[in-house]
Structure 1
């Protein structure tokens, strides 16, 4: 899949070459018009490929958190019924932090092509296991939870190495293609949540009750299935399993599509030209004695530490309640009480994720308006800390462990809180990142290191927030949050 120039060494090593400089002088005067059209088409295709690869980076995380209704049905009445989402979030974010650190440390000289194709292939195989699980009626909850955690670790590793390789590859093409990756990451959250919402809603529509009552094709009862299934094990409703099947199948197909997009990128003349130009720049770079002094990681970190703490706070607060607490918030309409279809847990939970995805993506776009942009670290620190108000607000909603009427007895109010929560997450985190890269005290050669430091603060905030979700959940259930 890598092709002749599939990234055996790190692109961007030395002086990075953008696609504009690589294309300079490529055409003759008589061919200028035709060549210009060809260039535009190649650039558009390459941009689309990086957009798809960026979406694939967050595909694993979104697959884990959006399929909560299916996982909950599998773990019903088990020890892990109320705590599984905290364990999944903690496992993924901690694994992501560790694997990403290793990927960054070993990036020099790594074969980026193998990292990209290998990571996507691993995601495809892991998602295939989820697809198979939806065709089995009964699975022992303890076995399913163990398999879920193992798959989460594998997906975290795949996402980490994929992110490292794709971002490093985009460095050779210039900032426009890095923006394509970020846009893809924002779009995939909305897309995945939308797919799950549609799949869940269509599976539970009254008009399809007859269809859903017809048994779907099942895996033949084998020795493996007998080992997994027991009479007392929960059996998710056909609608829940069919919805999860459609969801995971779509996720798997998109991962395959991402692999094909990467193969297309490798075959573009633009790709080969940019990589070759980058290698030429590296071979003709200045002697080490005349290069500017290498920036110190510790010195750069000190310059953006206050902004890093603000970034840490944003995602620590977000992960302390999302999805660990939000996945336990149900509609105020009781299940089976004749309420609307969207109030059923299998549909209501994806609605919450959809609202979060749309709000977060919108928040990331808002800083493009200059009048909504500010970079003062004090204001950003206040904005980051102020988001802590969302923790008690979510705890006052209709969680599955609520005793009596909740303080916030309205589905609309809950969704508005979720919208503001996600909007502030995307908006404040984007402003903090912007402030870090334009920090006046940074030298030109320190900007990339500053961005790396901010990414570390972000990932650390995710991991810390996942751990904090356990005591937050304990405040709801008044129980051992680890079980």
Structure 2
């Protein structure tokens, strides 16, 4: 049923009809449709002999979107989670060391914003699957380069800082390509695949922190942290390579399924790889204004998290362990917030309530300032550390829940496939503008806390 954009935007998913339509997407990805011939996604690709479980094309696509979501956000989280490593690596220059996180976020978001604007204007005849693969290849090259860069002499502080920021900028371009491609694909596919993507994003926040902790703990030469960095960055290469392989395998299987006689291509990746007409931002903004405003508020406030994670100390745990642990805690909260949105009860469906929820998160900033930032609270106890850890978890949870809710609504609020694909570029641009605003605000926090 065709609905006008104004009516769709005003009611969001609040009507029974829209709510039912959205809930229908929350299906078990392992289930096979009652009418498999009508749905290529229900095609059985193989049967696992030991557990006697059929693997459908739908299940493979879910896993692929999850892995691509991981690969998409892994570079950002990798550079963030390694903040303590870089601060240690740059310790001979206090100015570079203390401003690493803010500079990294500003370089990333500035490059991403400019490149996303360019990409959002290049819509006609764009192959989104090609963009996805190209973005993954760029990330593989960047992090292999970073793994080699750990061999640079410690005295090359300024050169190494410039080298890292150059790789951050190139990585941001690769992330833009994959992000726009993934959003375009899942907007057409439906909320369940959008959820797979955002869950993958959150997992990519958790695993780099764990990877860094393992690298620190297993380092037998505490005075030299080159081995830590090499293992950490090579892990990023591996993750991105796996996502690229799964994307190729999924595309091949879909072509095989379609060639085997499925007439309906509605649920295939192939038809959405190319966009046929240009859709303006003004046209997209009307139905998505509350959703996009929520995304801006969420990420603008969220970027206070890396600053506090880097500068709030524990009274009982060393910095090189405590900092990656805090990144892990926040990202576990973010993961939990995204995963629970697989159940409709946790999805924030009222768009105006979504905006109010996003605004209310600013209260976390003064609460973080009560903790042991820059060693101000020297008389703190284990209770202070626990309070800080709980705050970081809840801050992450609210980020994951809000972003997942907003992301899953985008495809539902638009009507044609070209609009849904165009929304990929515009949403990626909005995300990066909000991250840019947050990174600029992070400088003000550093000044205030310093």
What is the TM-score normalised by the length of structure 1? Answer: 0.72
Q: Distance in 2 between matches of 1:175 and 1:381?
A: 20
1:320-469 correspondence runs (5 A): 321-333=304-316, 343-400=317-374, 402=376, 410-434=384-408, 448=420, 454-469=427-442
Q: How does 1:205-244 map to 2 (within 5 A)?
A: 211-212=220-221, 237-238=223-224, 240-244=225-229
CA shift at 1:23, angstroms?
A: 7.0
In the alignment, the residues of structure 2 paired with residue 125 and residue 446 of structure 1 have an alpha-carbon distance, to the nearest angstrom, of 32
Which of 307, 311, 314 is the equivalent residue of 2:298? 314
Report what 2:29 is aligned to: none
Distance 1:180 1:21, change over 3 A: farther
Residue pair 2:112, 2:172 contacting (<8 A) in 1 also: yes
Distance 1:172 1:410 in 2: 46
Q: CA deviation at 1:113?
A: 4.6
Distance 1:349 1:298, change over 3 A: same
Q: Is the 8 A contact 2:62 2:193 kept in 1?
A: yes
Among 124, 130, 153, the residue aligned to 2:140:
124
Q: Is the 8 A contact 2:315 2:381 kept in 1?
A: no
Q: Give distance in 1, aligned partners of 2:361 and 2:289.
A: 20
Query: Deviation at 1:94?
Result: 2.1
Q: TM-score, normalised by structure 2?
A: 0.76
Secondary structure, counterpart of 1:410 in structure 2: helix
Task: Identify the residue that residue 249 of structure 1 maps to in structure 2.
Answer: 234
Question: Is 2:9 the counterpart of 1:24?
Answer: no
Give the Å deviation of 1:390.
Answer: 1.4
Residue 14 of structure 1: aligned partner: none
Task: Sort the Cα spacing of 1:57 and 1:373 in 2 relative to 1 into closer, same or farther, 3 A.
Answer: closer
- For 1:293-342, what per-residue CA distance to the aligned partner results, in whole angstroms no more than 9, with x for missing partners? 998642542444344323311110111x1213321222223xxxxxxxxx
Shift of 1:269: 5.0
SS at match of 2:198: helix
> Mind listing any 5+ residue stretches in structure 1 that lack a counterpart?
1-18, 204-210, 214-236, 285-292, 334-342, 478-483
* Aligned mates of 2:356, 2:189 — CA distance in 1: 36
CA distance in 1, matches of 2:167, 2:343: 40
Superposition RMSD on alpha carbons, in Å?
A: 3.9
User: CA offset at residue 406 of structure 1?
Assistant: 6.9
Matched, 1:141 2:114: no
Distance 2:403 2:292 in 1: 10
Counterpart contact for 1:90–1:467, Cα < 8 Å: yes
Q: Rate the CA distance shift 1:131–1:299 in 2: closer, same or farther, 3 A.
A: closer
